[in-house]
Chains A and B, each alone.
Chain A
């Protein structure tokens, strides 16, 4: 199906009343949890997974995707008004957004965040629509060696692109991969580290792990810090940015959209890193970089566009290859599998209604968010006034119900609490939980694909270098490892060459 025909078909699917309702629920819940600190899209999507069992696969994926990009919209509201990022991809927005609010410009800050998100979100859906069919066709040539080398590239990115210490990220990735091996061996069925328990023979559950590491640990950190949110007492005023604001923001929105989309496709990147890159880029390109950190609208427009564009980009590896490039997509992958759909190159042919319906729903959802967000900001502000002392017991309760609901096994709740305490301690000591979860998800697939590759080649590792696509991924992996090592030397060499033109 051509993209134009596909999107028309998708719109017909997305505009069915049940799917429209699912889309609305998704973006509404997404914005709400984006506003609430301590409950991000990952925990919410895992939580609502059991509630989608009664829905059609298309409606449930539409709702799940809506939660993700809805949270990107909602996260900016808390960053700007309270200086607390509602979720991690809005950390950068705090810097200039909150300063703008303090200067009485909360309205334009919220407005440009919403418009930028809308433009970037729409751009990334168009690109997703145009790129997915040819990529899915190419992905049909992927066998276990290609999958394994692509995952190898993913692991390298996970550890190289994190925000903290690289060695700690490597430790977390190794730990995640190790936890992924718990359960029955995929080839021989031998029990590994199950301690003869039924709960662990299926492996460590992704939902308890995510809810513990992201939901519970966040609450524990907030309870310890005793956060008291103070909503900045200001008239929000007109949300529409002025002509000058638009002039300043046009470039950052365009660059943020492109950057977020391209980076979002890469495994291990997610929606957080593009926001930092966009902020740094805008500051560097600006003629007045000193305004950054003091309420520059470019510092809101760029990163907010980047995180929304990344949501569309990160759908590409999932929909065309069946590989989750980040933690949110891992949960979405789980949602597909629960409904008996294997995302990947064949999905476009086997479930065109699902593929095009979800893509088209993202257009619809972006329009809904723009309409929903601007008039509802007053409501979000009211929600922010609910004291954390009332909010956190409810967030914990929701985590417990979510985990129990998936398996009806109280031991999974215990596992979640274990991960919650571990996540708290890890964050206190500067270890990021995200590489752990991503490596946990990708690790299982990596083990399966390398063992299948070796079976195919009768034990020859050469199979990884002989096939052109696999070899290309290996070269890219080597480049990711070597570039950061080589760059400073290269720069020093160039600087020397400039200083000593005679040489």
Chain B
């Protein structure tokens, strides 16, 4: 089933790229235009994805994969969600505050550390990374409303 879905997603993506690239001038083999390579590559990908899809459909049901660890999906979802939320508030809250909140979610929600430890390790991670990367290595990180 996984193989079928993966191949179908690739096929859909390739078709979308073909449709989305209609406006790009194609040119010819002797004088390729801006659309020649992306559209040729998308067409090639569509072909290969169709083959993979056919192969997955013929192969039928794969042997069942071992069940994931209990709570694995939740942990995975929490990590990905926290990271996307972090990007949404990074410029607004500034690096130190946003990083502190990200670490709190990862240490508390995903890893279930005790609250007192969570606050300590999150603050340490936020401040230490600020000092290491911004102060010492000169990486420009967003200051937020606090100006640091």
Contacts and interface: CB of A to CB of B under 8 A. Distances in A.
Q: Do A and B bind each other?
A: yes
Nearest to A424: B76
A459 B142 CA distance: 50
Contacts of A414: 84, 87
Contact of B87 (A225, A393, A413): A413
A158 to B, nearest CB: 14
Given A185-B34, A192-B24, A224 B48 contact: no
B38 A193 contact: yes
B45 A178 contact: yes
A223 B75 contact: yes
Contacts of B34: 185, 187-188, 190, 192
Contact of B41 (A174, A225, A400): A174
B69 to A, nearest CB: 5
B97 interface: no
A389 B34 CA distance: 47
A461 interface: yes
Interface in A375-427: 389-390, 392-394, 396-398, 400-401, 404-405, 408, 410, 413-414, 417, 420-421, 425-426
Given A224-B69, A225-B69, A431-B6, A396 B83 contact: yes
Interface stretch (A1-9, A164-172, A325-333): A164-172
Q: Which of A223, A225, A443 has its CB near the most chain B CB atoms (within 10 A)?
A: A223
A174 B44 contact: yes
Given A400-B86, A429-B6, A171 B48 contact: yes
Contact of A397 (B32, B38, B44, B103): B103
A245 interface: no
A454 interface: yes
Contact of B139 (A219, A401, A460): A401
User: In this complex, which of B5, B37, B69, B106 has the most chain A Cβ atoms within 10 angstroms of its Cβ?
Assistant: B37
- The majority secondary structure among interface residues of chain B is helix
Given A178-B38, A190-B25, A404-B141, A454 B110 contact: no
Contacts of B137: 50-51
A430 interface: yes
Nearest to B71: A226
Contact of B30 (A396, A420, A429, A459): A459
Interface in B51-74: 51-52, 55, 68-69, 72-73
Chain B, interface size category, equals 35 or more
Interface string A226-258: 100000000000000000000000000000000
A421 B80 CA distance: 8
A259 interface: no
B30 A460 contact: yes
Contacts of B75: 223-224, 226
B121 A167 contact: no
Given A188-B34, A220-B79, A405 B125 contact: no
B33 A188 contact: yes
B41 A181 contact: yes
Interface in A153-207: 167-168, 170-171, 174-175, 177-178, 181-182, 185, 187-188, 190, 192-193
A398 B99 CA distance: 11
B114 interface: no
A175 B10 contact: yes
B35 interface: yes
B41 A226 contact: no
Contacts of A491: none
A405 B24 CA distance: 33
B10 to A, nearest CB: 6
B34 to A, nearest CB: 4
B114 to A, nearest CB: 12
A428 interface: yes
B38 to A, nearest CB: 4
B68 to A, nearest CB: 6
Contact of B2 (A50, A220, A428): A428
B46 to A, nearest CB: 9
Contact of A178 (B29, B42, B51, B102): B42
A339 interface: no
Contacts of A192: 21, 24, 34-35, 38
A284 to B, nearest CB: 31
A224 B68 contact: yes
Nearest to B49: A171
A405 B129 CA distance: 13
Contacts of A426: 6
A451 B91 CA distance: 41
A394 B76 contact: no
Interface string A38-54: 00000000000011011
Interface string B1-45: 011011000100100010011001100111111110110011011
Given A396-B83, A429-B3, 19 more contacts: A51-B139, A54-B138, A167-B51, A167-B52, A174-B48, A175-B10, A188-B34, A226-B72, A389-B113, A393-B107, A394-B125, A397-B102, A398-B129, A401-B133, A413-B87, A417-B80, A417-B83, A430-B3, A450-B32
6 contacts: A390-B111, A397-B103, A404-B141, A405-B141, A460-B30, A461-B30
Interface of B: 2-3, 5-6, 10, 13, 17, 20-21, 24-25, 28-35, 37-38, 41-42, 44-45, 48-49, 51-52, 55, 68-69, 72-73, 75-76, 79-80, 83-84, 86-87, 90-91, 99, 102-103, 106-107, 110-111, 113, 121, 125, 129, 133, 137-142
